[in-house]
C-alpha cells in the first residue's frame, strides 16, 4: 500500500536537484520506530524543505526550524510564512521574460523581498531549478525549445502551494540565513532536551556539486560535517548521493549506527536512483515499497565518478546484503 500523508499533501514551490520529498516516509517511520516525538525538527540545509513541512503537516513533529546559507532561499521561506500576500501577488502579476531573468540573475538584490522573489523566479525558470551561475534559462536564450521559460511557472499551483504552507506559520520556530555550523550551535543553546530536537541534514551532493549549487562543499567541508555529527547527541538523519569517499567517512570512527544505500523513486513512473542515508539512531526501518526500495541482489552499484568511470566497490558494502548496514 502506498504511503499517504496524514495531513495536507505539502509540495514545495521550489524545484531542487535531488529533491528530498522522497525521504518523508522513511524519516517519519524512523522517528516512530525509535519512539521519538520531536518538539523541534531542524533542517540546516533547508532547500525546498519538503521533509520538514510534510512531517509538520502530518503531526509527526511539533515545530520546525529551517536554516539555509543561501540568502535567496532563506528570504523566500521568510516571505512564504510572514509576507504571504505580497509573494502571492508577485506570483500572479509578474510577467515571465528573459529580461527579468537576466536582471534577477545579475542583481543586485537589495531587500528580503527582492531576494525572495528572485529565488522563486530563477528556480522555476532555470534549467533543473539551479540557482547557481551555471544554470541557464529554460528554453535557452533563443526560446526555440518546446519547453519555454514559463513552462515550470504554473501560477495557480504555486499560489496554492504557498497558501497551504503558510497556514503552518504558527508552528515555525525559526527561519535563518545561517550556515549549518551556526544552526547546530544555536540549537545546542536551546532549553530543549537532546531527544526533543531532530536534525535532518541533506548537504550538497558529492558529485558535480559546483555545477548544482551556489554554496557547495569541498572534501574538507564533508569531513567537518562528519566530525561535528560524530559528537552530536541529538537524533539525526543524513542523506547523500552515494560515493566511496562519503561511505568511508561514515563507516569509520563510530560516527553512526546505520549507513544504508537504498534505491528510491520520487513517484511512480520515474526511474529509481541510488541514495545513501546515515543515522545515529538504533532503528532504520527500510522496507520495500513504491517509494523506497532496497537492493535485493547483492550490494548496490556505486554511483559513477564525475569523469564517467565506475567507482570501485567499497569494502563495507557487504555482498549478499540488501542495502548496507553498519552497526556499532
Q: What are phi and psi of 225, to 5 degrees?
A: -60, -45
At residue 204, the pLDDT reads 86
Q: How confident is the model at residue 157 (pLDDT cuts 50, 70, 90)?
A: very high
How far is the C-alpha of 17 from the C-alpha of 241, rounded, in Å?
A: 11
Place of cell 499560489: 159
How far is the C-alpha of 18 from the C-alpha of 207, rounded, in Å?
A: 12
C-alpha cell at 173: 520556530
For residues 98 and 301, the model is more confident at: 98
C-alpha cell at 215: 554554496
At residue 207, the pLDDT reads 53
Comparing C-alpha atoms, which of 197, 176, 185, 191 is closest to residue 280? 197
For domain 1-65+183-328, give its CATH number from 3.40.50.300, 3.30.2290.10, 3.40.718.10, 3.40.50.150: 3.40.50.150
At residue 298, the pLDDT reads 27
Strands 292-293 and 258-264: antiparallel
What percent of the chain clears pLDDT 70, i.e. is strictly above it? 76
Which range among 61-75, 194-208, 256-270 has the greatest average pLDDT?
A: 61-75
What percent of the chain clears pLDDT 90, i.e. is strictly above it? 58
Which residues share a beta bridge with 260? 277
Is residue 297 over pLDDT 80?
A: no
Place of cell 526555440: 144
Show Cβ contacts of residue 74 under 8 Å, excluding neighbours closer than 6 positions. 46, 66, 67, 68, 175, 176, 177, 178
224-262: pLDDT as tens digits: 999 999 999 999 999 988 888 888 888 876 667 888 877
Choice among 90-99, 128-137, 283-292 with the minimum mean pLDDT: 283-292
C-alpha cell at 316: 563495507
- Domain range annotation of the chain: 1-65+183-328, 76-162
The angle that helices 84-93 and 71-82 make with each other, rounded to 10 degrees, is: 110
Task: Give the chain's mean pLDDT.
Answer: 81
At residue 21, the pLDDT reads 84
Comparing C-alpha atoms, which of 255, 257, 234 is closest to residue 246? 255
How far is the C-alpha of 16 from the C-alpha of 2, rounded, in Å?
A: 23
Q: How confident is the model at residue 183 (pLDDT cuts 50, 70, 90)?
A: very high
How far is the C-alpha of 166 from the C-alpha of 196, rounded, in Å?
A: 24
Numbers of helices and strands, H then E, in the chain: 11, 8
Q: Can you give 101-143 as a three-state secondary structure string? A: HHHHHHCCCCCHHHHHHHHHHHHHHEHHHCCCCCCCECCCCCC
At residue 269, the pLDDT reads 45
Residues in the chain: 328
**Distance between alpha carbon 63 and the CA centroid of its chain, in Å?**
18
At residue 83, the pLDDT reads 98
Is residue 102 over pLDDT 80?
A: yes
At residue 20, the pLDDT reads 81
Is residue 172 over pLDDT 90?
A: yes
Please state, in angstroms and as integers, the Cα–Cα distance from residue 196 to each residue in 188, 234, 235, following that order: 11, 8, 9
Q: How confident is the model at residue 274 (pLDDT cuts 50, 70, 90)?
A: confident
Question: Secondary structure of the chain: what % helix, strand, coil (to 5)?
Answer: 35, 15, 50
Cis check: omega of the bond before 108, within 30 degrees of 0 = yes
Amino acid at each position: 500500500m502506498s504511503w499517504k500523508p496524514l495531513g495536507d499533501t505539502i509540495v514545495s514551490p521550489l524545484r531542487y536537484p535531488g529533491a528530498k520529498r522522497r525521504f518523508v516516509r522513511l524519516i517519519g517511520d524512523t522517528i516512530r520506530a525509535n519512539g521519538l516525538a520531536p518538539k523541534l525538527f531542524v533542517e540546516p540545509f533547508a532547500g525546498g524543505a519538503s521533509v520538514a513541512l510534510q512531517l509538520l503537516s502530518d503531526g509527526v513533529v511539533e515545530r520546525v526550524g529551517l536554516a539555509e546559507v543561501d540568502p535567496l532561499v532563506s528570504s523566500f521561506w521568510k516571505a512564504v510564512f510572514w509576507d504571504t500576500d505580497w509573494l502571492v501577488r508577485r506570483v500572479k502579476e509578474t510577467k515571465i521574460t528573459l529580461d527579468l531573468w537576466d536582471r534577477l540573475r545579475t542583481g543586485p538584490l537589495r531587500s528580503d523581498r527582492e531576494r525572495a522573489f528572485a529565488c522563486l523566479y530563477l528556480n522555476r525558470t532555470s534549467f533543473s531549478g539551479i540557482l547557481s551561475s551555471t544554470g541557464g534559462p529554460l528554453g535557452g536564450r533563443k526560446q526555440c525549445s518546446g519547453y519555454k521559460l514559463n513552462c515550470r511557472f504554473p501560477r495557480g499551483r504555486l499560489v496554492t502551494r504557498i497558501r497551504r504552507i503558510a497556514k503552518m506559520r504558527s508552528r515555525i520556530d525559526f527561519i535563518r540565513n545561517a550556515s549549518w555550523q551556526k544552526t547546530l550551535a544555536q540549537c545546542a543553546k536551546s532549553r530543549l532536551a537532546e531527544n526533543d530536537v531532530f536534525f535532518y541534514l541533506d548537504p550538497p551532493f558529492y558529485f558535480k556539486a559546483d555545477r548544482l549549487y551556489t554554496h557547495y562543499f569541498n572534501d574538507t567541508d564533508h569531513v567537518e560535517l562528519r566530525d561535528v555529527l560524530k559528537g552530536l547527541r541529538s537524533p539525526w538523519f543524513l542523506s547523500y548521493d552515494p560515493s566511496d569517499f562519503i561511505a568511508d567517512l561514515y563507516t569509520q570512527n563510530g560516527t553512526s549506527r546505520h549507513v544504508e544505500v537504498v534505491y528510491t523513486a520520487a513517484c511512480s513512473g520515474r526511474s529509481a536512483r541510488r541514495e545513501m542515508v546515515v543515522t545515529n539512531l538504533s532503528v532504520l526501518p527500510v522496507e520495500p515499497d513504491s517509494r523506497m526500495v532496497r537492493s535485493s541482489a547483492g550490494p548496490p552499484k556505486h554511483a559513477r565518478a564525475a569523469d564517467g568511470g565506475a567507482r570501485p566497490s567499497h569494502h563495507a558494502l557487504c555482498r549478499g546484503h540488501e542495502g548496507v548496514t553498519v552497526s556499532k
